[in-house]
Amino acid sequence: MATWLPLSAESRSTFWRSLQTLTVTRIVIAFVLLLYLSIDVRRGRVGGTAYAETCIVYVLAALLFAVVAQRWRRRFLWQLSVQVIVDIVAISLLYLAAGGMRSGLALLYLFPLAGAAILAPLVLALFSAALATLFVLGESTWGIFTRADDPPLTQAGLTGAAFFAVVLVVNRLAARLIKQEELAARHGADLRIQQAIYRIVVDDVDDGILVLGRDGTVFGGNPAARRMLGLETQPGEDGNTFLLADVPALEPVAQRFAAWVGHGMDGSAAGGYVTVKRWHETDGPVRGRLDQPVHLKLRFARVDTPEGTAQRSLVFLQDVSAIENQAQQLKLASMGRLTASIAHEVRNPLSAIGHATSLLAEDLHGPAETRLLRIVNDNVVRVNRMVEDILKLSRKVQPNGTPVALDEFLPELRAEFTEMHGLADDIVWVGDAGGRSVRFDGLHLREVLVNLLGNAIRYASGKPASIRVVPVLDATGRMELHVQDDGPGITPEVRAHLFEPFYTTSSKGTGLGLYLARELCLNNGAMLDYEYRTEDVRPGAPDGMGEASGRFVITFGASI
């Protein structure tokens, strides 16, 4: 490794490991030479002590080089140069002691020369090959004057040429491998930087991100997703994978994902709104706790994975509860002064207009006059109802917390509502609450349900059990009340603004009914939301009523 080459830390570490491998190989070769010596001594083929002394010194030097390379990782080129020179000197002495070219030990020169070709610059490697070649040729030339037989000069020359060829080929191949390794190391460093940036960006974003398999297995997620879903451990850490369907509270997310996959992962079918309920699990593969329901906006995206690899998808989770509350507060901020004087400034003129309309109706009986008076009266009623709703917003009455027995309360409300609107007895269907009670102000609960049932009348078909009120238990044992009709469901676009004040799709509505209903639920420690469900949650419902659709869901704070 040349000191002037700008190498990364990974490449430098690779060079030191290669040098350590070279020292281990040197030890093995030295011990093999000692074994070769012992065999030849017993057979009487090697005489004198030069060979034995050289082998012993070479073994000790090999052990010393191994210790130094392991303990002192500095001055790489100097260490390599010393080792190669010692190798050439030791092999040359053994070469002479064994009888020169005819001994066959010239092949041992390939060991230090290959090491120099791999780990040293080309100039140093060629210098090592030149030293070995000069020694081999010199020994053969000297044999012309000292031996009676003809020395193998041709073989010595070919051996030297082989030394140079091996050094050139190995050095070029090693240089190419070093360049590739350095490129891979730099790309790896760039990849680690990108991963670090990715972790910072993903970990700091407010939106949650989940990585899912096609079957809904969670392979990863960021801290925001863990916080939104109430998970204790980071998804995907230490092989912590699980199915969304394994957590009952996450089943709405699993259903929306399954629907997206069922539509062929079509972008037009992606997205939707779900509510993740409270849940608490201390045992099992998935542990976590979510103390408050969270309303999430989902968006799905398919990951373009290479062909033949596992398919992955991303789920982006956005907590829209805070956004909805902020939008509502902004709309209600302008009503502060209005509510203080609205009773005198609006209600009194409305009362006078309504009274005058009634008096005119007694004297005017023509069709045109009647139609105009009816228009005036309808608008008076509408404005008066808006005034009443606005005044309710400023009256945050604390609930009395009286337990409400649902098995008694719901049938009474059904009878009263049916009679009030002149409906048939079998249009509104009420499920069995199993003798359970909830802590909720009775008047508030009546107002919430009347509001929801009033909306259902406008869209229901009027068939038997076309409007359903169903008490059920959620996955955490909390009581829920589902209000559903057989009319067309609410689209996700409308759902995004459903509980905003003054938002309405009806020309006769004020846009405050659902907002007031949610406020009353919150005031009683409950939650009102519109959810999309695919399962039939109405045990004992009449036949033909099990189709999947959206519904209003009241989740009570505690059952009694």
pLDDT at 4: 40
Q: What is the pTM of this model?
A: 0.50
Positive or negative, the CA dihedral 201, 207, 208, 214 is: negative
Q: For the chain, give percent helix, strand, coil, nearest 5.
A: 60, 15, 30
pLDDT at 113: 79
Counting Cα atoms < 13 Å in the Cβ hemisphere of 38 gives 6
Phi/psi at 146 (5° precision): -110, -20
Residues 336-395 have pLDDT tens digits of 566 656 656 777 787 888 878 887 777 777 788 778 888 788 777 767 766 766 666 555
Residues paired with residue 530 on neighbouring β-strands, in sequence order = 552
In the block, tokens 């003129």 appear at 349
Phi/psi at 528 (5° precision): -115, 130
pLDDT at 481: 92
Q: How far is CA 542 from the centre of its chain?
A: 42
Q: β-pairing, 428-430 with 467-473?
A: parallel
Helix (H, G, I), strand (E, B) or coil at 265: coil
Calpha distance 386→327 (Å, rounded): 20
The CATH number assigned to the domain with range 206-319 reads 3.30.450.20
pLDDT at 537: 42
pLDDT at 542: 45
For the chain, residues with pLDDT lower than 50 are 1-5, 42-43, 45-47, 536-548
Calpha distance 53→70 (Å, rounded): 26
Residue type, 131: L
What are the CA-CA distances from residue 518 to residues 9, 39, 499, 501, 529 (Å)?
A: 62, 98, 7, 11, 8
Domain spanning 403-555: CATH 2.40.10.10: no
